[in-house]
Chains A and B, each alone.
With several copies, the nearest count.
Chain A
Amino acid sequence: MSHSTLDVAAIRTQFPILSREIDGQPLVYLDSANTSQKPRAVIDAMSRFMEQSYAPINRSAYRLAAEATDAYEGARSAVRRFVNAPKVHELIFTKNATEALNLVAMCWGRANLQRGDVVVLTHMEHHANIVPWHMLVAERGIELRWVPLTADGQLDLTTLPQLLDGAKAFSFTAMSNVLGTITPVRELCRAAHDAGAIAIVDGCQYVPHNVTDVQAWGADFLAFSSHKLCGPSGIGVLWGREALLDAMPPFLGGGNMIADVRLDGFTTAELPAKFEAGTPPITEAIGLGAAIEFLEGIGMTEIRRHEMQVADYALRTLTERFGDDITIHGPTNVEHRGATFSFAFRDIHPHDLSQVLDQRNVCVRAGHHCAKPLMRVLGAAATARASFYLYNDESEVDVLADALDSATDIFGF
């Protein structure tokens, strides 16, 4: 593996919270798969916008409003570039990835799925890519099929053609938020299309850590969140192919999404306004644009390379130090995974583990990670999860390992 090109120390100085100490100990933030921290560039872009340029979007005609609208639409262009979408109006700002996935299920689903129609999911999906489909099961009697997993936490593709046979949609994550597994998105999109299904990609975990190219993938929809890629909370993204978006009924009704409203009905606006009802997350779009520029400035290829290196170090360190006492889920080859690790440690319940790690200011998530079906497959009700990002380095793997040692002292039975 090539050596990391990231200057993590320099990057860390750009994240104000990372110099915060609690009880005199530095913050070891290993919960970025949950939500990421924000660099100065993002915080400042939002403050500056509110201090100097805040105004309504797309509604008023004075210069301040035009300036704000340009900034907002500029963020949309940045997102387009970031995921290499063909057209800028194919990008819809939502409140989070969950809303983006619900939008697809509700609007594309209601327009295209009838009783008995099949949607294929995988056993490693986040609830955000399960529950909206459950709702369609309840509402219109569609059928869900599930791609199972291999022993090392990859998708088991041996029965994929059968599962996809007759399916209308295949919705899957590009990277598991629990296992860290990176799925073969291009291959999965092709398999979906071969079966006549559309391909919906949950990019929440993938997009913040990798170069994303929806055209190279051949995907039909992509959903992801700003808050996991150093951007603000309160905004997410749905990208969809123009023809699909154009053919879908609208989602929420209200201002901005209409062409005309009468007492007896309404007509919808063009893309992207059609799917952006009401006042959008204006300042948040500016922040998202700044986050994308920040990440591009560092380089997504470099970020991925750095995380592979950290992942490799973490796998080696934890297995060397704890052997059979630790079970790390997911692939062992860092080519097939990101730097997100769910693990079981001795018999210590993840919640207790996270409590003990928190004494050393090591922040990991304990729980089901919004992936209960996957937890049942793993045979665990909960796991602890440590997830690394561009601002984490190998030394934090060591701190994590030391903190795990201290848990043994308390629960050493």
Chain B
Amino acid sequence: MPGLDDLYREIILDHYRSPRNRGELPPPASHAVGHNPLCGDEIEVYLDVQDGIVTDIKVGGQGCSISQSSASMMSQAVKGKPVAEVRALVHRFKSMMSIEEADEDAPEVKLGDLEALQGVVKFPVRIKCAVLAWNTLTEALSTSDAGGDTTR
């Protein structure tokens, strides 16, 4: 059985203790709430999208170390990025979590700190925790007036 250090890397615990981009954004920021019915985790994502760029992001909610650190790292990773790149990152992250097929032809997207979450794959039950923020992000993106979003 994989050891717990595969799961609870120091950088994960750091984001859990000191979550980045925590807070809310006022309307017209788009907003989505995600639930993990298994454990009651909740993630809220607030998103400012201007001219196809995620200009600001804030994250709320509560939950386990994995869901919260994933949300925190995600917020860092997408802030300032074009929507198209954000979507590519979502896909890249989900394929790291082995719930979407890796896309051979996709442009290389850097995961950075997010790589630390790789170990979650060895604990299948926790994949949902790691992905919750990302699904909520996708929902917020699709409810935003992302006019510049041409990736779909």
Q: Note whether A and B contact each other (Cβ less than 8 A).
A: yes
Cα distance, A258 to B124, chains bound together (Å) = 22
- Is A356's beta carbon under 8 Å from chain B? yes
Pair A349/B40 contact, Cβ less than 8 Å: no
* Chain B window 1-37, contacts with chain A (Cβ cutoff 8 Å), 1 for yes, 0 for no: 1001001100001000100000000000000000101
- Is A411's beta carbon under 8 Å from chain B? yes
- Is A134's beta carbon under 8 Å from chain B? no
Cα distance, A351 to B62, chains bound together (Å) = 12
Q: Return chain B residues, CB-CB under 8 Å to A260.
A: 35
Q: Select which of B1, B38, B64, B124 is within 8 A of A349 by beta carbon.
A: B64
* Chain B window 60-90, contacts with chain A (Cβ cutoff 8 Å), 1 for yes, 0 for no: 0011111100000000000000000000000
- Is A368's beta carbon under 8 Å from chain B? yes
* Chain B window 35-65, contacts with chain A (Cβ cutoff 8 Å), 1 for yes, 0 for no: 1011111100000000000000000001111
Pair B64/A351 contact, Cβ less than 8 Å: yes
Cα distance, A367 to B67, chains bound together (Å) = 14
- Is B126's beta carbon under 8 Å from chain A? yes
Q: Select which of A22, A65, A381 is within 8 A of B40 by beta carbon.
A: A381
Pair A381/B126 contact, Cβ less than 8 Å: no
Closest Cβ of chain A to B42, distance in Å, is 7
Pair B124/A413 contact, Cβ less than 8 Å: no
Q: Return chain A residues, CB-CB under 8 Å to B40.
A: 367-368, 372, 375, 381-382
Q: Return chain A residues, CB-CB under 8 Å to B123.
A: 355
Residue on B with the closest CB to A23? B1
Pair A61/B125 contact, Cβ less than 8 Å: yes
How many chain A residues sit at the interface, stated as a range, is 20 to 34
Which A residues, 344 to 387, have Cβ-Cβ distances below 8 Å to chain B? 349-352, 355-356, 359, 366-368, 372, 375, 381-382
Pair B13/A411 contact, Cβ less than 8 Å: yes
- Is A252's beta carbon under 8 Å from chain B? no
Number of interface residues, chain B, beta carbon within 8 A: 24
Pair B38/A352 contact, Cβ less than 8 Å: no
Cα distance, A59 to B40, chains bound together (Å) = 10
Cα distance, A23 to B1, chains bound together (Å) = 7
Pair A355/B39 contact, Cβ less than 8 Å: no
Q: Select which of B1, B35, B39 is within 8 A of A366 by beta carbon.
A: B39
Pair B35/A61 contact, Cβ less than 8 Å: no
Pair B65/A349 contact, Cβ less than 8 Å: yes
Cα distance, A58 to B67, chains bound together (Å) = 17
In this complex, the member of B40, B67, B123, B124 whose beta carbon has the largest number of chain A beta carbons within 10 angstroms is: B40
Q: Select which of A61, A258, A356, A381 is within 8 A of B38 by beta carbon.
A: A61
Q: Select which of B17, B35, B37, B63 is within 8 A of A351 by beta carbon.
A: B63
Q: Select which of B17, B37, B67 is within 8 A of A273 by beta carbon.
A: B37
Pair B62/A381 contact, Cβ less than 8 Å: yes
- Is B129's beta carbon under 8 Å from chain A? yes
Which A residues, 62 to 106, have Cβ-Cβ distances below 8 Å to chain B? 62-63, 65-66, 70
Closest Cβ of chain B to A126, distance in Å, is 14
Cα distance, A65 to B40, chains bound together (Å) = 17
Closest Cβ of chain A to B31, distance in Å, is 16
Q: Return chain B residues, CB-CB under 8 Å to A59.
A: 38
Chain B residues with CB under 8 Å of chain A are 1, 4, 7-8, 13, 17, 35, 37-42, 62-67, 123-126, 129
| 16 A/B residue pairs, CB under 8 Å, sorted by A | A61-B38, A61-B125, A61-B126, A259-B35, A260-B35, A273-B37, A349-B65, A350-B39, A352-B8, A355-B7, A359-B1, A375-B40, A382-B41, A411-B65, A413-B13, A413-B17
Q: A62-B125, A352-B65, A382-B41 are in contact. List 19 more A-B contacts (CB 8 A).
A: A63-B1, A256-B37, A351-B63, A351-B64, A351-B66, A351-B129, A355-B7, A355-B126, A359-B4, A367-B39, A368-B39, A372-B40, A381-B40, A381-B41, A381-B62, A382-B39, A382-B63, A411-B13, A411-B65
Chain A residues with CB under 8 Å of chain B are 22-23, 58-59, 61-63, 65-66, 70, 256, 258-260, 269, 273, 349-352, 355-356, 359, 366-368, 372, 375, 381-382, 410-411, 413
